[in-house]
């Protein structure tokens, strides 16, 4: 593991930089004695008499000299984030000042915390499960209200509860099977065959539904990838700038201005999205443009939605994407751009594209950009029916563990139906529980735990 889980750790819990306040956190058995060495209450109240969970005004002192005016808060175990004794020092947010105070704490007997070590201790002490630990990191990085709602539900333990309900069904059956192995003459599985079948069916249905939530959960966290593609000079960059409401991409009448992919984050109707502008798709001998086109194709291949931009003044419906990629599973909106230059006359598309979802607009008109936002929202929200579901799997680790659990659960169901013997059934059920336990951290390997917590910031 990252730490010995016995020493006292300290770290700056706020972002580096100049600010009104910075917070330095100490956790461990020596948290209170360490803080007592450097803190003096303004009313000279003895440190041991400072009340729990109350901000106390005082000074940080260094060899008898006052260094900073601070507020100190003691949170005694087990009622703290880490379930250990925790002290927080709220000092002025100077870059140099916080480092000096942290050094005083380290010199007083603490050591510098590693990335995510406070959250790791909360997990190891049973204060939170692994999904809640991941949520504490995700909530810092949330980019939309929808993502925030998803992470908060996970932080409240609702994903843990959903997995626990599945485990309960499987564990009940496993207990019955183990009883049969120990006392075969009683044949408990046969006697409760209908109940066993029903519980395994309920667990399987719930697990399949949970796995089905992973794609949506990860897209809400990572953002829907929306790729703008089309020939050079059709207005892709202007549309990107309009959706972002800022001038992010260079706009020029010369074709080939965009030679690399440009990716920016935004929200569309409250849903996080990554807008990706790409080089124009066309035939060229320019090696730089060829590389840009290759990157554009790679971006389209990973897209959740493609905006195929067409210049209404000089329309070309030659879609070179289909020559290199399978577009059958990628939703697409045909964006007929530059309507302000085309005029009021009729505009037609080839018959084979007549069923393609499309919008006529001008990237220069704000009302048309809003119409495009609405069209995009309807498309990406329509891809999933459960955007408001309370609990979802939110990362690949959780999804893979759930899929492994389903494999073993299917094996268990087959073993039961085909009468392969109680021993095989018990193994498959135990492996199902093992995989489900990995999601919440009960059976997660140490190397995976190290990887998860290493992605956290120091002080969290």
The closest of 49, 39, 47, 124 to 81, measured between CA atoms, is 124
The answer to whether residue 367 sits within a structural domain is yes
* 33 and 121, same domain (yes or no): yes
- Residue 124 to residue 118: CA distance in whole angstroms: 10
* 163 and 224, same domain (yes or no): no
- Residue 207 to residue 399: CA distance in whole angstroms: 11
Would you place residue 25 in the very low, low, confident or very high pLDDT band (cuts 50, 70, 90)?
very high
* 267 and 298, same domain (yes or no): yes
* 236 and 365, same domain (yes or no): yes
* 317 and 433, same domain (yes or no): no
The answer to whether residue 55 sits within a structural domain is yes
pTM for this entry: 0.79
Tens digit of each residue's pLDDT (9 = 90 or more) over 207-225:
999 999 998 888 888 888 9
- Residues 134-149 have a mean pLDDT of 87
CATH number at residue 139: 1.20.120.430
H helix runs in 54-116, sequence order: 95-107
- Residues 433-443 have a mean pLDDT of 95
Tens digit of each residue's pLDDT (9 = 90 or more) over 314-364:
888 776 565 555 566 788 899 999 999 987 778 888 887 888 888 999 999
Any idea what DSSP says for residue 28?
A: S
* 64 and 33, same domain (yes or no): yes
Of 86, 114, 129, the domain-final residue = 129
The answer to whether residue 230 sits within a structural domain is yes
The reported pLDDT for the residue numbered 322 is: 53
Any idea what DSSP says for residue 419?
A: T
The answer to whether residue 449 sits within a structural domain is no
The answer to whether residue 3 sits within a structural domain is no
* 227 and 366, same domain (yes or no): yes
* Residue 290 pLDDT > 80: no
Cα 340 from chain centroid?
41
* 119 and 245, same domain (yes or no): no
Q: Which residues contact 211 (CB under 8 A, 6 or more apart)?
A: 393, 399, 402, 403, 406
Tens digit of each residue's pLDDT (9 = 90 or more) over 10-21:
999 998 889 999
Q: Report residue 292 as tokens.
A: 């840009």
The answer to whether residue 448 sits within a structural domain is no
The closest of 72, 51, 44 to 60, measured between CA atoms, is 72
* 122 and 139, same domain (yes or no): no
CATH number at residue 16: 3.30.1360.120
- Residues 382-408 have a mean pLDDT of 81
* 376 and 294, same domain (yes or no): yes
* Residue 274 near residue 261 (C-beta atoms within 8 A): no
* 53 and 97, same domain (yes or no): yes
* Residue 124 near residue 118 (C-beta atoms within 8 A): no
Phi, psi of 275 (to 5 degrees): -90, 130
* 254 and 318, same domain (yes or no): yes
Q: Which range marks the domain in which residue 278 is found?
A: 220-382
- Residue 383 to residue 122: CA distance in whole angstroms: 37
The closest of 210, 215, 219, 267 to 390, measured between CA atoms, is 210
The dihedral region occupied by 63, where left means phi > 0, alpha psi between -120 and 50, and beta the remainder, is: left
The answer to whether residue 416 sits within a structural domain is yes
Tell me if the bond preceding 138 is cis, omega within 30° of 0: no
Question: What's the structural domain count of the chain?
Answer: 3
The reported pLDDT for the residue numbered 208 is: 96
| Mean pLDDT over the full length of the chain | 86
* Residue 86 near residue 119 (C-beta atoms within 8 A): no
């Amino acid at each position: 593991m990252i730490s010995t889980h016995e020493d006292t750790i300290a770290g700056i819990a706020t972002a580096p930089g100049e600010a009104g306040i910075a917070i330095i956190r100490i956790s461990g058995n020596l948290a209170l004695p360490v803080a007592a060495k450097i803190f003096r209450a303004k009313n000279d109240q003895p440190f041991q008499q400072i009340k729990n969970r109350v901000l106390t005004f005082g000074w940080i002192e260094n060899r008898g000299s006052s260094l900073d005016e601070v507020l100190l808060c003691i949170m005694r175990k087990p009622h703290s984030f880490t379930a250990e004794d925790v002290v927080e020092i709220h000092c002025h947010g100077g870059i140099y000042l916080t480092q000096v105070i942290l050094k005083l704490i380290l010199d007083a007997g603490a050591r510098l915390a590693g990335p995510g070590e406070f959250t790791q201790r909360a997990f190891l002490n049973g204060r939170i499960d692994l999904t809640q630990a991941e949520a504490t990191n995700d909530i810092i990085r949330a980019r939309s209200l929808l993502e925030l709602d998803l992470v908060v539900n996970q932080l409240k333990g609702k994903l843990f509860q959903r997995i626990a309900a599945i485990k309960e069904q499987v564990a009940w059956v496993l207990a019955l099977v183990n009883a049969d192995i120990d006392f075969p003459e009683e044949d408990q599985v046969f006697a409760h065959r209908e109940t066993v079948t029903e519980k395994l069916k309920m667990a399987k249905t719930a697990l399949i539904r949970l796995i089905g939530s992973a794609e949506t959960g990860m897209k809400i966290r990572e953002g829907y990838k929306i790729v703008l593609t089309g020939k050079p000079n059709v207005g892709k960059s202007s549309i990107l700038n309009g959706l972002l409401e800022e001038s992010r991409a260079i706009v020029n009448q010369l074709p080939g201005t965009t030679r690399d992919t440009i990716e920016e984050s935004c929200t569309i109707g409250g849903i996080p999205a990554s807008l990706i502008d790409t080089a124009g798709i066309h035939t060229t001998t320019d090696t730089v443009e060829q590389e840009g086109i290759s990157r554009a194709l790679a971006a389209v291949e990973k897209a959740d939605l493609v905006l195929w931009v067409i210049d209404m003044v000089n329309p070309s419906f030659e879609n070179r994407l289909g020559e290199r990629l399978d577009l059958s599973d990628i939703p697409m909106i045909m964006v007929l751009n530059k309507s302000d230059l085309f005029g009021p006359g009729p505009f037609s598309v080839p018959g084979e594209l007549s069923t393609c979802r499309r919008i006529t607009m001008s990237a220069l008109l704000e009302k048309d950009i809003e119409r495009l936002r609405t069209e995009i929202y309807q498309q990406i929200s329509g891809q999933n029916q459960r955007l408001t579901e309370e609990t979802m799997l939110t990362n690949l680790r959780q999804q893979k563990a759930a899929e492994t659990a389903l494999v073993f659960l299917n094996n268990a169901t087959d073993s039961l139906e085909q009468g392969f013997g109680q021993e095989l059934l018990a193994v498959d059920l135990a492996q199902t529980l093992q995989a489900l336990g990995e999601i919440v951290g009960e059976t997660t390997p140490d190397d995976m735990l190290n990887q998860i917590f290493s992605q956290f910031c120091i002080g969290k």
